[in-house]
Structure 1
Amino acid sequence: MKKIITTAVIFLSGLNAISQTNSITKNSNKMEQEKIIQTVTNLFNGADEHNWTKVENAMKESVLLDFSSMTGEASSIKTAKQIAENWAAFLPGFDKTRHQLSNFQVTQNGNTATVHYNGKADHFIGNDVWTVEGTYDTELSNTNNNWFITKHKLNFTKQSGNTNLPAKAIEIMKSKSIRKVKFISEGLILKGNLHLPAEFSETKTYKGIIVTGSWTTVKEQMPDLYAVKLAEQGFVALTFDFRNYGESEGQPRNYEVPEMKAQDILNATNYLQTLSFIDKENVGGLAICASSGYMALALANGADLKAVNFVAPWLHNAEIVKLIYGGADGVNEKIKKSENAKTAFAQNGKIEYVPASSTTDKEAAMFGDFDYYLNPKRGAIKEWGNQFAVMAWKGWLQFDPIQYASKINIPVQLVHSQSAAVPMGAEEFYKNLNGPKNIIWVDKASQFDFYDQEPFTTDATNDAVKWFRKQL
């Protein structure tokens, strides 16, 4: 056992790190102790410098991260890349950060070491500062004569100053990481969110992903959630409101027309390819639920996507429609109502609406206790109209996206569950695909789990990222 007691104060500010160290060494190599402390220093120095490569290189491939004493969240094993990406998505929201470390106590045992030390972190926005204080226990291992962090634990003592700064930093990062955009689709202005990776640079080139959600929805629902996760993985992800929905132009409002939405996807792809920082030859698509069918039609119509990933795809044909909507009689009844509503619109310009989702109105497009659409903490957000134009029923019920599978030659991956919506449609679609393909079946996941619940959304995103990195 080799024990080194080192007293040090390290100020990390911007690109400068000043260290004053006095050490008493017993039976140890002074160079080795300095290397151990330098690895720990690099972690904090890199964070203050926003040098995420330095942060990542200070750690082993996987690290047990434990900030539970401050956050209340359980410790977890994360990759060095995940830790660097998480810090990169938060710390630059401050004007600057400054870490001060002191009183290092290093215990070395062969190729492993434990370091206990004091830490103080100042976070600045304008004239305000938020300070966190405590101690750290950091474990390291030696590989090829280099020390790497394997465990990093904060023992939180106190915080002071403006404790609202973390929330403000998050909002600042959102403003930096989401760019409001607009483009034209058949003469209409469609508005979207362009989700950018941490440390985004206009001079670099990124792979772009079009992200679309379920029927009747807006970009702020499941599309933005997946786009944020894709941006965290280094992609530029575009979400947008289809015509007739959300912030985009188009009349009648909340009018669901598959063919129009497919054309909007095609035009969104064309727009993304015009951006100077997008690799125009490597744009992909991630579609959730019903928009999987719209994206399939867009591909059949020539959308220049190089690979796509469908999450919980709702893909139906005439037979599946009958199973879902009350048999032939139920389908014909809805089509008749649709035709009557369209005739009335043509005559007097009035739109007949029903709720998109309701537990009380049996005429709703989705009648039942669908918590995602009814819960304000989930999908029942202010940006969503919860309306369905009755005259849209005919086009929806007669839309058959499964027929387009045989016309798609690019790589397609499906992530679904047998306990989610219409898995038989996904199976039929997958069978008819001609190009490279893959299907992943998730155990015991509902349709709405894929919309916003963990671990399903993160797992589905990770599956998509693996697919895109392989195919783009």
Structure 2
Amino acid sequence: MTNPTLIAGNNKVTFKSFGVDLVGDLYLPEGFNESKKYKAIVGASPFPQVKEQVLGTYGPEMAKRGFVFLGFDYLGMGDSPALPGEYKQSRYMFRLIENTWDAVSYLGTLPFVEEIYGLGVCQGGSIIASASVTDHRIKKIATVSGMMAADGFQWTDRNIANMMIEAANASRQKMYETGEADYNAPNVLTDEYTKEEFVGLGVNPMAADTYDYYGKDGVAGPGTIKNFTNMHIGDQAMQSLISIGEHYADKIVQPSLIIYSPSAFTAICSTQFIEKLTNEHEVLTFDEFGHVDFYYKPDAVKASTDAVAEFFNK
């Protein structure tokens, strides 16, 4: 664990998880004073992002609102290493949860941290929801365009789900036998597609929005963000098709805020999760925004970060 001299703004930090150093950005508010106490947020990002994407947008915004914010690269992603003998671009759900627990532990070592909250966007919503089930050090959680209830989204067409599983199984076997990484594009988008090519495939109902963010010409695509690629380890579906937070939703005790767009293709991932909650929770909807809008568009980011700040400050 590295604790450099900390200043307002973005600070590069590391902390241990699975015995290796995960790399993070610790955003501190203006006028930061180590002798004061602050509310801290551990951020969880969409799949398959690195810390410079959504977390690099939300971190400064939450710091402006007076919070300490930790965004970090999960094991095998971005600036964080893979385990010995394993491969980069290996974002596995169960490890994401444990990485998050270790991020909470790291924040707990900082003398200026008073309470710890969780904020997850897209897949990050599932990660934060899952992590909070048995980590009550996280005092409140908020999700934005969260993919918590993934069953109704990913398993609606069992044939497609089973095809994904078959391909993932084959990839895992290949990697075991060859000792070499096997990569594919789990969201179909590659680093080479033009927008016209990707939209023309007709396989993604959010294709245009997805490309505008992740494409090679996108605002946060491989041509813009260091260490990001749309390519991923080939056995990813063996874990990404399992949603823990959804099935333990009724066990979550922390007050929760769920923000989503009813008009978004992914709305069901929030609505079915909300139906299962038994805790104190609030729901905030923005019909004027789409799923990806919350990643980076100024009006959507302001709406969500204002709401999260108000909720965490209650």
TM over 0.5: yes
Partner of 2:287: 443
Question: 1:314·1:421 contact (CA, 8 Å) conserved in 2?
Answer: no
Q: Deviation of residue 376 (structure 1)?
A: 4.6
Q: Deviation of residue 315 (structure 1)?
A: 2.2
After superposition, where does 1:63-102 map in structure 2 within 5 Å?
none
Q: Partners in 2 of 1:278 and 1:225 — Cα distance?
A: 21
Q: Partners in 2 of 1:287 and 1:421 — Cα distance?
A: 18
Q: Secondary structure at the match of 1:391?
A: coil
Q: Deviation of residue 203 (structure 1)?
A: 1.0
Partner of 2:255: 411
Question: 2:44·2:127 contact (CA, 8 Å) conserved in 1?
Answer: no
List per-residue Cα deviations over 1:199-255 (Å, max 9, x = no partner): 111111111111121011001001121110110011111110011100112132111
Question: 2:129·2:148 contact (CA, 8 Å) conserved in 1?
Answer: no
Partner of 1:179: 11
1:374 maps to amino acid = G
Partner of 1:304: 137
Q: Deviation of residue 175 (structure 1)?
A: 7.5
Q: Partners in 2 of 1:260 and 1:443 — Cα distance?
A: 33
After superposition, where does 1:39-188 map in structure 2 within 5 Å?
176-188=8-20
Partner of 2:107: 272
List per-residue Cα deviations over 1:274-295 (Å, max 9, x = no partner): 001111xx21111100111111
Question: 1:409·1:433 contact (CA, 8 Å) conserved in 2?
Answer: no
Q: Secondary structure at the match of 2:174?
A: helix
Question: 2:148·2:243 contact (CA, 8 Å) conserved in 1?
Answer: no
1:246 to 62, 78, 87: 78
Overall identity of the aligned pairs, in %: 24
Partner of 2:146: 313
1:430 maps to amino acid = I
Question: 2:51·2:71 contact (CA, 8 Å) conserved in 1?
Answer: yes
- Superposed structure 1 runs of 4+ greater than 4 Å apart: 359-362, 364-367
Unaligned runs of 5+ in 1: 1-173
Question: 2:261·2:267 contact (CA, 8 Å) conserved in 1?
Answer: yes
Comparing both chains, which one has the higher relative contact order based on Cα–Cα distances under 8 Å and sequence gaps of 6 or more? 2
2:296 to 438, 442, 452: 452
Q: Partners in 1 of 2:155 and 2:259 — Cα distance?
A: 24
1:374 to 188, 198, 215: 215
Q: Deviation of residue 401 (structure 1)?
A: 2.9
Question: 2:130·2:244 contact (CA, 8 Å) conserved in 1?
Answer: no
Q: Deviation of residue 368 (structure 1)?
A: 3.7
List per-residue Cα deviations over 1:33-63 (Å, max 9, x = no partner): xxxxxxxxxxxxxxxxxxxxxxxxxxxxxxx
**In angstroms, what is the RMSD of aligned CA positions?**
2.1
1:341 correspondence with 2:171: yes
1:212 correspondence with 2:38: no
Which deviates more, 297-306 or 454-463? 297-306
Q: Deviation of residue 422 (structure 1)?
A: 2.1
1:354 correspondence with 2:177: no
Partner of 1:153: none
Q: Deviation of residue 375 (structure 1)?
A: 5.2
Q: Deviation of residue 321 (structure 1)?
A: 1.1
Q: Secondary structure at the match of 2:184?
A: strand
Q: Deviation of residue 316 (structure 1)?
A: 3.1
Question: 2:74·2:91 contact (CA, 8 Å) conserved in 1?
Answer: no
Q: 1:465 to 1:214 in 2, by over 3 A?
A: same
Q: Deviation of residue 421 (structure 1)?
A: 3.8
Partner of 2:24: 192
Partner of 2:271: 427
1:245 maps to amino acid = M
Q: Secondary structure at the match of 1:460?
A: helix
List per-residue Cα deviations over 1:62-120 (Å, max 9, x = no partner): xxxxxxxxxxxxxxxxxxxxxxxxxxxxxxxxxxxxxxxxxxxxxxxxxxxxxxxxxxx
Q: Secondary structure at the match of 1:455?
A: helix
1:230 correspondence with 2:62: yes
Q: 1:366 to 1:180 in 2, by over 3 A?
A: farther
Partner of 1:290: 123
Q: Partners in 1 of 2:11 and 2:25 — Cα distance?
A: 6
Question: 1:414·1:439 contact (CA, 8 Å) conserved in 2?
Answer: yes
Q: Deviation of residue 398 (structure 1)?
A: 3.0
Q: Partners in 2 of 1:197 and 1:271 — Cα distance?
A: 18
2:162 to 312, 332, 335: 332
1:353 maps to amino acid = Y
Q: Secondary structure at the match of 2:138?
A: coil
Question: 1:209·1:237 contact (CA, 8 Å) conserved in 2?
Answer: yes
Aligned residues: 291
Q: Partners in 2 of 1:421 and 1:192 — Cα distance?
A: 31
Q: Partners in 2 of 1:318 and 1:466 — Cα distance?
A: 31
Give me the TM-score of the superposition, normalised by structure 1. Answer: 0.59
Question: 1:315·1:422 contact (CA, 8 Å) conserved in 2?
Answer: no
Bigger strand fraction: 1
